[in-house]
Structure 1
Amino acid sequence: MTGDDWARSTARASDGSAPPAPRLARIRDRWMSAVVAALRDDPVVVGAALVGSLGAGRADDWSDVDLLLVVKDEHLDDYAVPDRLPSGPGRRTFAIDARHNGPLGTRAVSAQYVTDDLPLWVDWSIHPISLATWPPASTVLFDRHGITQSLSEYHGPHEPATPKTADEHEAMLLALIPIAAKQVARHSPEAADTIEFLGGSPKGTRPDHLATLHQLLTQFDPLVHPESLAAAHTYLTLLDPSH
């Protein structure tokens, strides 16, 4: 998939459920173009596909990135670490081991990258060739191995969760504030649940939820998380320019 192909696919994916945010879409497109080029140049990676809303063609400007990578079996654990994954034009400000989101025998990393002062959440799934199939609702970016397409979603056991440190948990909470803001933008009922998980009140209207997210940001030390915190503030202004 070329950069032009990528831009066209995201443009036609918007379902109109959230207000336009072309700046977010441009940042995501630029990040994806650079990252896919880096993955193609990496001999360890034998295939890559978009999954989630982007892979299924139902994304909007606010959609995050879900990438499924297939690597040689012997490199699975070597590759499934944040420093091994390409950052594109952005700077990684948060990452955790998220293998509990994937099937047994696979790995996963959830990360936030800041580009042009805005955050982008990326869920990486890393599968060995021996277990790899492309999910039914996915867009294959490249495939050097001839991986087959699965006919159904995976519903088997997942990898056990790895423990998180207090610092990782705090960084995750900060990185989730833009996720809650995205849900508010989409008028999603999930917004109240996410805000409650973050420690805020789930009650109220959309302006109440935005005010709560602004308030939640004040609990983070700007000296500890300067980039992620500034990016979250900038993200919230897309919904509430008065701040």
Structure 2
Amino acid sequence: MNTPPPAPQLAAIRNRWLSAATTALRSDPLVLGAALIGSLGGGRADDWSDVDLLIVVDDAHLDSDTTAEHLPPGDRTFSIDARHNGPLGTRALSAQYVVDGLPLWVDWHVHPLSLAAWLPDSTVLLDHRGIPKASTTDSRREPSTPKSPEEEAALRLALIPIAGKQVARRSPHAAATIHFLGGPHLPDPHAQLRALRELLTQFPNPPTATATYLDLVEQSLH
């Protein structure tokens, strides 16, 4: 496995955002529990890692709490229903924030108390109900929700930094992601970065934060 190149700016904005989000979650009376999951929760994160947060709410609040408006404040530039990424009976939302001029991707997973359990790779941030531990989750997934053409276009734009992260890591998934976004299937990281820059120009008023992120990717390739 390739060692990811350092990107201290990205780690810094992630930690800054996470500190503010944790404070907001602790003060929210509707949040019964919260944990980091994914690479951060399991201690496998690098500077390029995104944030995966699992929050637990009462069953009656499941849908009302899974909205962008209810999430902790921040400069959120994109959000989309992503419940297909979670077990049956749960909700999920993917969002992009801008912190200090750089994009940060956050996957919010919202579970009802009746189905809640902390997995081994969770780092629990708060727990007001003594939520049990579990070794596995239900493998059945929630069905995806229909997306409008506008939502699909916004998703492709928001995923450009995700593809950039894969390029910086020299991930074998980078070529497929860029192809999904509408670019050519290219194996060379430098060519992949050029393709991402070209894709960015196809959007009206492309975000400065995304271009800045791609500059960090370019630095990582030297």
The interval holding the TM-score normalised by the smaller chain is over 0.9
Q: Does 1:19 align with 2:5?
A: yes
Residue equivalent to 1:81? 67
Separation in structure 1 between the aligned mates of residue 212 and residue 177 of structure 2, nearest angstrom:
19
Equivalences for 1:9-48 in 2 at 5 Å?
17-48=3-34
- Which TM-score applies when normalising by structure 1? 0.87
Per the TM alignment, residue 16 of structure 1 is displaced from its structure 2 partner at its CA by 7.7
Q: Does 1:136 align with 2:114?
A: no
Runs of 4+ residues deviating >2 angstroms: none
Q: 1:205 aligns with which of 175, 188, 198?
A: 188
Residue equivalent to 1:10? none
- Which TM-score applies when normalising by structure 2? 0.95
Separation in structure 2 between the aligned mates of residue 196 and residue 97 of structure 1, nearest angstrom:
22
RMSD of aligned Cα (Å): 1.5
Per the TM alignment, residue 85 of structure 1 is displaced from its structure 2 partner at its CA by 0.5
Equivalences for 1:122-161 in 2 at 5 Å?
122-152=106-136, 154-161=137-144
1:160-204 CA-partner distances (Å, limit 9, x unpaired): 110111111111101100000100111110101101101111224
Per the TM alignment, residue 156 of structure 1 is displaced from its structure 2 partner at its CA by 2.5
Indicate if the aligned counterparts of 1:50 and 1:66 stay in contact, CA closer than 8 A.
Answer: yes
Per the TM alignment, residue 149 of structure 1 is displaced from its structure 2 partner at its CA by 1.1
Q: Does 1:220 align with 2:203?
A: yes
Per the TM alignment, residue 155 of structure 1 is displaced from its structure 2 partner at its CA by 4.3
Residue equivalent to 1:239? 217
Identity of aligned residues (%): 60
Residue equivalent to 1:7? none
Separation in structure 1 between the aligned mates of residue 198 and residue 166 of structure 2, nearest angstrom:
17
Separation in structure 2 between the aligned mates of residue 158 and residue 237 of structure 1, nearest angstrom:
36
Higher helix share: 1
Pair 96,130 (structure 1): closer, same or farther in 2 beyond 3 Å: same
Per the TM alignment, residue 31 of structure 1 is displaced from its structure 2 partner at its CA by 0.2
Separation in structure 2 between the aligned mates of residue 72 and residue 204 of structure 1, nearest angstrom:
47
Q: Which runs of 5+ in 1 are unaligned?
A: 1-14
Separation in structure 1 between the aligned mates of residue 85 and residue 110 of structure 2, nearest angstrom:
11
Indicate if the aligned counterparts of 1:118 and 1:234 stay in contact, CA closer than 8 A.
Answer: yes
Separation in structure 1 between the aligned mates of residue 154 and residue 100 of structure 2, nearest angstrom:
20
Q: Does 1:168 align with 2:144?
A: no
Separation in structure 2 between the aligned mates of residue 82 and residue 26 of structure 1, nearest angstrom:
24
- SS of match in other structure, 2:194: helix
Q: Which moved more, 1:199-208 or 1:108-117?
A: 199-208
Per the TM alignment, residue 72 of structure 1 is displaced from its structure 2 partner at its CA by 1.2
Which amino acid counterpart does residue 177 of structure 2 have in structure 1? T
